[in-house]
């Protein structure tokens, strides 16, 4: 083989190798994205499907006024064995504190995916809860927080009677709270919970009071207008013993583009809710249940622009529940 032929062969191999790598780099993200899209559940309507004792699930799907999917969890807080549970603080090594004070461990709120929270505490149902910082989901390969990272929760959070995050008096207006006592819950717009509260999370806006839209909602509607979004809403009946968790998938063109704040409020009002509060939404919106196959995500969250990808969130509202009787 001539010297020129050897050089030509080596050059062609190099170029083919570069071309192959280029195509691999271009096609891999497309294939991975497409696979997540194909795994999304079909927008099939489900009406009052029992999941556990005291918990039923409904799914609504419509293409008017735009494609949107709504997930409704109807929870009887008086059901035998049903018990709410909020994310506790977690022990973790804090290197900065160790170097400064020789303290090896600290208890702080730390981000987890909703499915991680459910599996860690052996729950039957879990959804995302408080707003939190820091937060950045700019790209699929860089986002904050990661699972296990320290977070600052917005508003009050209580787990098993222990305060996880305190109300910051500088936050005005105070983030409204969803407070759980024995087989009952209440939504307070002043950011507090009564003595004896066992579990509590916070949102950022009370939507309904006495079954009617609030003045705060009317003011917020002027700011948010008619922009569709993803939502996690908690609502109660007049007795405080029936809880609805309403989740709206969004940010996914032609599949579920979300609802406006006014639309989701009307949806919750139609359920018969007396009061309702908006929890963290957007890419944080996630509902997970336990199943024979492990943790199953009921909705289709979208995180760092990838449909079906769970976001590590600041904290969660979970439920222990008994299995359905045969």
Say if residues 75 and 243 touch (Cβ distance below 8 Å): yes
Q: What is the DSSP code string of 42-89?
A: P---EEEEEEETTEEEEEEEE-SSS-EEEEEEEEETTSTT-EEEE---
How many Cα neighbours within 13 Å face the side chain of 51? 29
pLDDT tens for the chain, 326 residues long, are 565 555 545 544 555 555 554 554 555 445 455 556 667 878 899 999 999 999 999 999 999 999 999 999 999 999 999 999 999 997 655 455 545 555 545 678 999 999 999 999 999 999 999 999 999 987 777 889 999 999 999 999 999 999 999 988 777 788 999 999 989 999 999 999 999 999 999 999 999 999 999 999 999 999 887 899 999 999 999 999 999 999 999 999 999 999 999 999 999 999 999 999 999 999 999 999 999 989 999 999 999 889 999 999 999 999 999 999 87
> What pLDDT, in 10s, does the model give residues 18-34?
555 455 455 544 545 55
Predicted structure pTM score = 0.87
- Residue 240 structure tokens: 């405080």
Rounded to an integer, what distance in angstroms lies between the CA atom of residue 288 and that of residue 118?
A: 7
Of 218, 161, 216, 165, which is closest to residue 194 (Cα–Cα)?
A: 161
Rounded to an integer, what distance in angstroms lies between the CA atom of residue 133 and that of residue 41?
A: 30
């Amino acid at each position: 083989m001539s010297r020129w032929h050897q050089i030509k062969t080596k050059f062609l191999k190099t170029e083919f190798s570069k071309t192959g790598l280029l195509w691999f780099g271009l096609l891999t993200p497309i294939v991975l994205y497409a696979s997540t899209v194909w795994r999304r559940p079909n927008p099939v309507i489900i009406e009052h499907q029992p999941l556990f004792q005291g918990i039923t699930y409904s799914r609504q799907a419509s293409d008017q006024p735009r494609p949107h999917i709504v997930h409704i969890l109807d929870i009887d807080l008086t059901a035998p064995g049903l018990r709410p549970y909020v994310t506790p603080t977690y022990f973790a090594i804090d290197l900065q504190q160790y170097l400064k004070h020789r303290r090896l461990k600290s208890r702080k709120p730390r981000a987890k995916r909703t499915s991680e929270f459910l599996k860690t505490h052996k729950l039957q149902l879990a959804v995302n809860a408080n707003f939190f910082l820091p937060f950045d989901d700019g790209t699929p390969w860089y986002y904050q927080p990661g699972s296990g990272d320290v977070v600052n929760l917005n508003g009050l959070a209580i787990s098993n009677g222990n305060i996880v995050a305190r109300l910051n008096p500088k936050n005005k207006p105070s983030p409204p709270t969803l407070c759980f006592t024995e087989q009952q819950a209440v939504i307070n717009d002043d950011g507090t919970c009564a003595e004896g509260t066992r579990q509590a999370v916070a949102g950022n806006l009370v939507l309904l009071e006495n079954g009617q839209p609030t003045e705060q909602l009317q003011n917020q509607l002027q700011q948010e207008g008619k922009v569709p979004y993803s939502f996690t809403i908690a609502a109660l009946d007049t007795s405080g013993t029936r809880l609805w968790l309403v989740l709206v998938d969004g940010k996914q063109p032609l599949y579920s583009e979300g609802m406006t704040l006014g639309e989701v409020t009307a949806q919750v009002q139609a359920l018969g809710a007396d009061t309702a509060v908006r929890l963290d939404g957007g890419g944080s919106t996630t509902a997970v249940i336990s199943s024979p196959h492990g943790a199953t995500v009921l909705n289709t969250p979208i995180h760092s622009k990838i449909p079906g990808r769970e976001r590590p969130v600041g904290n969660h509202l979970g439920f222990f529940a008994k299995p359905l009787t045969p």
